[in-house]
Structure 1
Amino acid sequence: MKKDYAKTADTLIAALGGKDNITRLFHCMTRLRFYVKDRSKINEKEILKLSEISGVNWHEDQFQVIAGNEVNAVYKALEDKGVPTDDAPAANSDSSKSVVSKVIDAITGCMTPMIPALTAAGMIKVVLTLLTTFHLVSETSSTYQVISFIGDVTFYFMPFLIAANAAKVFRVNQSLALFIAGVYLSPTFVTMVAGDAAITLFGLPITKATYSYSVIPVILMVWITHYIEILVDKITPKMVKLILNPTLVILISAPIALIVVGPIGTIIGNGLAVAINFLSVKLGFIIVGILAATFPFIVMTGMHHALTPIGLNAIATGGSDTLIFVSQVCSNLAQSGASLAVAVRSKDSNMKQLASAAGVSALMGITEPALYGVTLKLKRPVVAASIAAGIGGIVGGLLQVSLYIAQNCIMAIPAFIGEKGLSNLIYGIIMIVVSFVAAFVLTLIFGFEDVKAETEDEVQNTDTEKQPAQQNAPLVDKIELCAPVAGTVKALSDVPDKTFADKVLGDGAAIVPSEGKVYAPADGTVANIMESKHGIMFVTESGAEILIHIGIDTVNLNGKYFKSHVSEGDKVKKGKLLVEFDMDAIKKEGYDLITPVVVTNISDYIKAVCMEKEDAAVNAGDKFLTIV
């Protein structure tokens, strides 16, 4: 049955708080990556109900939706719906980030869109290796040369690909960014570098370096060009900007690229290669094992693509990688083994199907469905996979396994063929088998809670052992909530926010506060307090999940005028003071203080009924909502 991705896109947009709440969308191989204005508007449970989605994750202010192999189709459907895509800058999303986070995000933004091209190039090299290994093609034939240069294109012209992506990340005119990359790869410059004569520009020396296959110089240069563009735009008259701006940008950028940034980038790249080589040679079995074991958790942060340039640089400068991609292979194969073990052992047909598909996907290098949909969800399997990956990494480190092509899955087997000969291939296969089998066996040994199967058993026990008690039980149970704040009662439909008014986040009612204090509506736990203190997620002892959202768009105040009296995880009694807020100051800032009180897991119940009439006055602690 053909999937309706347009309907999926509509559901996602609504669950993300509407199109107006999304400032930017881009994607990698498995994730849709959103920047939103107000994270409190996101209904994660609705997103997780979609069959195409296997998990969600926050990284800094980036909301990641894991769509696995269907990410391209869902992304295209969202794009067709008018969601701002990766051509649009992430407005106001960087101000609170640390320098490290900004650097990681920049590198990820430059490298992530390249993965399809890198994958294609790597697989072409694998095909070429197989053709020559089985003597189907001679290395002296034109067929070999044609396939070889096709496979080399991505790597040789890597600066162009990086420049195109970096232009979006650093908000630089893309044609000018590609122009800078062309300076590095100009055939004339390549010829001059290969010659004996020194290269100078107005007497300034230009370092002889080859920039094909390079990563760092062009990222640095496009970043610098962003500031050059700003400077040039300030100093040029309006009448001649069209001609003068691009000309000055290139005249300033190109010399800097050749004289300063290129050599610095090369030094950094070579330094990374030396460092990796040192770690691999001196501490290989420790470093590879540690990185392989922690890789699933690096994936959870979304930082794994930031490691790609290091691995690529090792291949470009040294001919092979012994750390980054080697550890990824161990981790991915371990995730596959753990997921397939779950498929074998689980009694739930849905989990069997999901784990089987996720295991095969991880086998091919796409681990997010396995990680978020299976191993992390069941807890113990992710521990088993991590331990197994560490064991595989230690084996690979001890045997000094090398990868000659950027691969991170079962297809890495041909990529083990290189200068080290047959022994490296055998050692690589041993490493893969150890990672996969260890994860499979450890998952079976550790076991996991097959939640649905246990629930069915409990239902059966309840039916047989507690039948008399059930006969006397009420037909419906109800949960009573007190008003968390004093004020005037309003219907959710009166809230000037479509997400609340349309009950996207759940059912409930609202209160226009007359006092700047929020109290616990029942006995329960403070599940989450937003950094801006304007929103509290509260879970009652009976399991009802309550969102108390103080005001509309008050997230923009970043906690100003709010004071929290509890912390996440605190267990509190009904009537406990949770948050205080300065009503007058917030009103002066122009914000509406209407406070929705929403049961976000209303799908677990029949309905939520407000006990007070609309526009009635209510005191904090009065009966307010009944959940049936």
Structure 2
Amino acid sequence: MKKDYLETADTLIAAMGGKDNIIRLFHCMTRLRFYVKDKTKVNEKEILKLSEVSGVNWHEEQFQVIAGNEVNAVYKALENKGIPTDDTRETDPVNPKGVVSRIVDAITGCMTPMIPALTAAGMIKVVLTLLTTFHLVSDTSSTYQVISFIGDVTFYFMPFLIAANAAKIFRVNQSLALFIAGVYLSPVFVSMAAGDAAITLFGLPVTKVTYSYSVIPVILMVWITHYIELFVDRITPKMVKLILNPTLVILISAPIALIVVGPIGTIIGNGLAVAINFLSAKLGFVIVGILAALFPFIVMTGMHHALTPIGLNAIATGGSDTLIFVSQVCSNLAQSGSSFAVAVKSKDSNMKQLASAAAVSALMGITEPALYGVTLKLKRPVVAASVAAGIGGIVGGLFQVSLYIAQNCIMAIPAFIGDKGMSNLLYGIIMIIVSFVASFILTFILGFEDVKSDNEIKESSEAQGTTETQQRNPLVEKVELYAPVTGTVKTLANVADKTFADKVLGDGAAIFPSEGRVYAPADGTVVNIMDTKHGIMFVADSGAEILIHIGLDTVNLKGKYFKSYVTDGERVKKGALLVEFDLEAIKKEGYDLTTSVVVTNISDYIKAVCMEKEGSEISAGEKFLTVV
């Protein structure tokens, strides 16, 4: 990295209000695009003095710095300075992820955003089947054909959808990634592949494959394109990058896509299908039960997403899936049934609430709250759910249940409607009922050691102490946070700041204060008191990271009316006075004093639940949030 660009980065960071003021940075062909916390800190005049900058522009919440041909160099210098960017690797430098984890994460990132489109396409097919089954539409009519091609769009153009998602995962220019997908789906290439004549490119053979409905080739190709982009960027002169870079990327990528990667990806996809067919042939209906029983433990490794392309490939090429999504339905419904049983049987009110919510979530296909927060935590329920899922899977395998849509929850019921007629729907419903009911009953029979009440936990902690592992693991025990201020409770959704209302920073609740004092919400450490004193970053001993933000836009007061009683890095007990502020003076200045209390590392937990209803009064030190 040239020194002048590093100096440019330093100047630019300072003019943006410092590193802490920059939320995120990304760039396009000519512009650096910043999102900042406080717009007032951005010094546009200083930025315009930079020789690399030809202009600046505000677009809603986005600040654009026009850097032309030098945008890549300035961007990389900013990234090297630690500015958070879309290209910043999320890998922990201390505990880097292994190859398998990175592959699973990549597949997850490519496939998960497609679920709504796949669901919509599948449901359209269900509607079409119902229309023809009840003779409302003829399968020779133009109405049938129009509805049919609408339902086929998602599957036919699946490479485009995957390319758009893969571009974000592999940090490739999205338009170029879509360009590559277009190479695979070009009508000219499709007609050439369907013809009898051989296809060559400068004498090299191009495999005649139809890539509609395919998954693996485009994922592989977008990944490779990332490295092609890096290579091209290194070898092209700065003055012609805008024209030469994308041209060379496509000229290099397209032949590789058609001659090498496309055929290899197809072979891999076909190989997976052959492997599944082999297991099905050898193990018969039992394979569905085995996979369904193992799914909770596959979810724990994250490998369940790696199975999605196999199921999608089965639906795309054969019209239905009889293994992957079928076994997922059994597993998810079993997790739901077990969680419902815990909700009924548990004597702890918090566990009842958590198990009920987790059961509904699992019913709709999201099993992590049920698995990590209920069944796995209580041990025996996860065994009950696994056994019940296996039983349901065996029932599904015996009846050869098929799913015509990629579904993994109770919404799979209409997805059972297809070529096999209404009998498949009946068998699918039986499979679901067996999975849910068997899990519910088995959980009751096996039982579980109920969670302790708050008094029991307190007594146990006082008698034995709490281990470091228990303190740091949010799945072992709930985290109680206490109100840092006295006032009126508000939900985050009703905070007049989109960042908090949309839970961009995390989950929690807010309080409109009636007194100007902020206290520690738990035992823990004050990580950072902002220079303006209006914001406090606090880490509880439980591991919960909490942002206490006093008022909206109060940063503009620059510390006026605020007084801090603690310093960065100071350990405090629950209820210790952190900050004092002149409530009336700040109100007269016209500021909204709504104080948001946000758990910023909420992704490490399941959810944050406010213990009081909106509009109710709460005193500092009373139970405010439960993080589970």
TM range (shorter): 0.5 to 0.7
1:195 and 2:234 equivalent? Answer: no
Partner residue, 1:212: 212
Assess, with a 3 A threshold, how the Cα gap between structure 1 residues 23 and 346 changes in structure 2: closer, same or farther: farther
Following superposition, the deviation at residue 450 of structure 1 comes to 4.0
Following superposition, the deviation at residue 351 of structure 1 comes to 4.3
Following superposition, the deviation at residue 79 of structure 1 comes to 12
Partner residue, 1:443: 443
Aligned partners of 1:94 and 1:102 also within 8 Å: no
Quote the Cα distance in structure 2 between the aligned partners of 1:326 and 1:104. Answer: 21
Aligned partners of 1:289 and 1:390 also within 8 Å: yes
Aligned partners of 1:273 and 1:318 also within 8 Å: no
Assess, with a 3 A threshold, how the Cα gap between structure 1 residues 278 and 401 changes in structure 2: closer, same or farther: farther
Quote the Cα distance in structure 1 between the aligned partners of 2:449 and 2:464. Answer: 29
Quote the Cα distance in structure 2 between the aligned partners of 1:221 and 1:480. Answer: 54
Aligned partners of 1:87 and 1:168 also within 8 Å: no
Following superposition, the deviation at residue 419 of structure 1 comes to 4.0
1:324 and 2:339 equivalent? Answer: no
Assess, with a 3 A threshold, how the Cα gap between structure 1 residues 597 and 86 changes in structure 2: closer, same or farther: closer
Following superposition, the deviation at residue 212 of structure 1 comes to 0.9
Q: Specify the SS of the correspondent of 1:279.
A: helix
Partner residue, 2:362: 362
Q: Specify the SS of the correspondent of 2:247.
A: helix
Seq. identity, %: 79
Quote the Cα distance in structure 2 between the aligned partners of 1:24 and 1:235. Answer: 25
1:89 and 2:71 equivalent? Answer: no
Quote the Cα distance in structure 2 between the aligned partners of 1:284 and 1:546. Answer: 47
Quote the Cα distance in structure 1 between the aligned partners of 2:360 and 2:122. Answer: 20
Quote the Cα distance in structure 2 between the aligned partners of 1:253 and 1:508. Answer: 53
Assess, with a 3 A threshold, how the Cα gap between structure 1 residues 419 and 23 changes in structure 2: closer, same or farther: same
1:293 and 2:293 equivalent? Answer: yes
| Equivalences for residues 338-349 of structure 1 within 5 A | 338-348=338-348
Q: Specify the SS of the correspondent of 1:130.
A: helix
Task: Please give the TM-score of this superposition, normalised by the length of structure 2.
Answer: 0.59
Which deviates the most, 314-323 or 272-281?
A: 314-323
Following superposition, the deviation at residue 262 of structure 1 comes to 0.7
Q: Specify the SS of the correspondent of 2:234.
A: helix
Which deviates the most, 275-284 or 375-384?
A: 375-384
Aligned partners of 2:334 and 2:436 also within 8 Å: yes
Assess, with a 3 A threshold, how the Cα gap between structure 1 residues 86 and 351 changes in structure 2: closer, same or farther: farther
Quote the Cα distance in structure 2 between the aligned partners of 1:85 and 1:161. Answer: 30
Quote the Cα distance in structure 2 between the aligned partners of 1:391 and 1:79. Answer: 53
| Equivalences for residues 297-312 of structure 1 within 5 A | 297-312=297-312
Following superposition, the deviation at residue 168 of structure 1 comes to 1.2
Assess, with a 3 A threshold, how the Cα gap between structure 1 residues 403 and 330 changes in structure 2: closer, same or farther: same
AA of the residue aligned to 1:175: S
Q: Specify the SS of the correspondent of 1:322.
A: coil
Following superposition, the deviation at residue 127 of structure 1 comes to 2.9
Following superposition, the deviation at residue 269 of structure 1 comes to 0.6
Query: Alignment RMSD, CA only?
Result: 4.1
| Equivalences for residues 138-177 of structure 1 within 5 A | 138-177=138-177
Gaps of 5+ in 2: 1-18, 27-60, 64-81, 467-517, 527-539, 545-567, 579-628
Quote the Cα distance in structure 1 between the aligned partners of 2:228 and 2:357. Answer: 49
Partner residue, 1:568: none
Aligned partners of 2:213 and 2:316 also within 8 Å: yes
Assess, with a 3 A threshold, how the Cα gap between structure 1 residues 227 and 430 changes in structure 2: closer, same or farther: same
Aligned partners of 1:111 and 1:306 also within 8 Å: no
Partner residue, 1:223: 223
AA of the residue aligned to 2:447: G
Following superposition, the deviation at residue 505 of structure 1 comes to 9.0
Aligned partners of 2:413 and 2:428 also within 8 Å: yes
Q: Specify the SS of the correspondent of 1:451.
A: coil
After superposition, what is the alpha-carbon deviation per residue over 1:580-620, rounded to whole angstroms, capped at 9, x for unaligned? xxxxxxxxxxxxxx986677xx5xxx6699xxxxxxxxxxx
Quote the Cα distance in structure 2 between the aligned partners of 1:85 and 1:430. Answer: 54
Following superposition, the deviation at residue 368 of structure 1 comes to 2.8
After superposition, what is the alpha-carbon deviation per residue over 1:562-596, rounded to whole angstroms, capped at 9, x for unaligned? xxxxxxxxxxxxxxxxxxxxxxxxxxxxxxxx986
AA of the residue aligned to 2:87: P
Following superposition, the deviation at residue 268 of structure 1 comes to 0.7
| Equivalences for residues 95-174 of structure 1 within 5 A | 96-174=96-174
1:412 and 2:412 equivalent? Answer: yes
AA of the residue aligned to 2:391: I
Aligned partners of 2:126 and 2:417 also within 8 Å: no
Assess, with a 3 A threshold, how the Cα gap between structure 1 residues 100 and 509 changes in structure 2: closer, same or farther: closer
Quote the Cα distance in structure 1 between the aligned partners of 2:369 and 2:168. Answer: 28
Following superposition, the deviation at residue 232 of structure 1 comes to 1.4
Aligned partners of 1:336 and 1:359 also within 8 Å: yes
Quote the Cα distance in structure 2 between the aligned partners of 1:85 and 1:385. Answer: 45
Assess, with a 3 A threshold, how the Cα gap between structure 1 residues 263 and 249 changes in structure 2: closer, same or farther: same
Partner residue, 1:182: 182
Assess, with a 3 A threshold, how the Cα gap between structure 1 residues 370 and 449 changes in structure 2: closer, same or farther: same
Partner residue, 1:519: none
Aligned partners of 1:270 and 1:317 also within 8 Å: no
Aligned partners of 1:289 and 1:327 also within 8 Å: yes
Aligned partners of 2:335 and 2:385 also within 8 Å: yes
Following superposition, the deviation at residue 22 of structure 1 comes to 9.0
Partner residue, 2:581: none
Quote the Cα distance in structure 2 between the aligned partners of 1:291 and 1:154. Answer: 27
Following superposition, the deviation at residue 546 of structure 1 comes to 10
Aligned partners of 1:388 and 1:435 also within 8 Å: yes
Following superposition, the deviation at residue 111 of structure 1 comes to 1.3
Aligned partners of 2:156 and 2:213 also within 8 Å: yes
AA of the residue aligned to 2:260: V
Following superposition, the deviation at residue 159 of structure 1 comes to 0.5
After superposition, what is the alpha-carbon deviation per residue over 1:226-252, rounded to whole angstroms, capped at 9, x for unaligned? 111122122222221111111111111
| Equivalences for residues 450-489 of structure 1 within 5 A | 450-451=450-451
Aligned partners of 1:329 and 1:407 also within 8 Å: yes
AA of the residue aligned to 1:216: I
Assess, with a 3 A threshold, how the Cα gap between structure 1 residues 280 and 426 changes in structure 2: closer, same or farther: farther
Following superposition, the deviation at residue 422 of structure 1 comes to 4.7
AA of the residue aligned to 1:396: G
Quote the Cα distance in structure 2 between the aligned partners of 1:85 and 1:388. Answer: 49
Partner residue, 1:575: none
Following superposition, the deviation at residue 23 of structure 1 comes to 8.4
Partner residue, 2:260: 260
AA of the residue aligned to 1:287: I
Quote the Cα distance in structure 1 between the aligned partners of 2:368 and 2:324. Answer: 18
Gaps of 5+ in 1: 1-17, 26-77, 463-472, 482-501, 511-536, 539-544, 548-593, 610-628
Task: Please give the TM-score of this superposition, normalised by the length of structure 1.
Answer: 0.59
Q: Specify the SS of the correspondent of 1:262.
A: helix
Quote the Cα distance in structure 2 between the aligned partners of 1:546 and 1:215. Answer: 40
AA of the residue aligned to 1:267: I
Following superposition, the deviation at residue 382 of structure 1 comes to 2.1
Assess, with a 3 A threshold, how the Cα gap between structure 1 residues 200 and 369 changes in structure 2: closer, same or farther: same
Assess, with a 3 A threshold, how the Cα gap between structure 1 residues 131 and 371 changes in structure 2: closer, same or farther: farther
AA of the residue aligned to 1:320: S
Following superposition, the deviation at residue 254 of structure 1 comes to 0.7
Q: Specify the SS of the correspondent of 1:188.
A: helix
Following superposition, the deviation at residue 480 of structure 1 comes to 12
1:276 and 2:253 equivalent? Answer: no
Assess, with a 3 A threshold, how the Cα gap between structure 1 residues 234 and 174 changes in structure 2: closer, same or farther: same
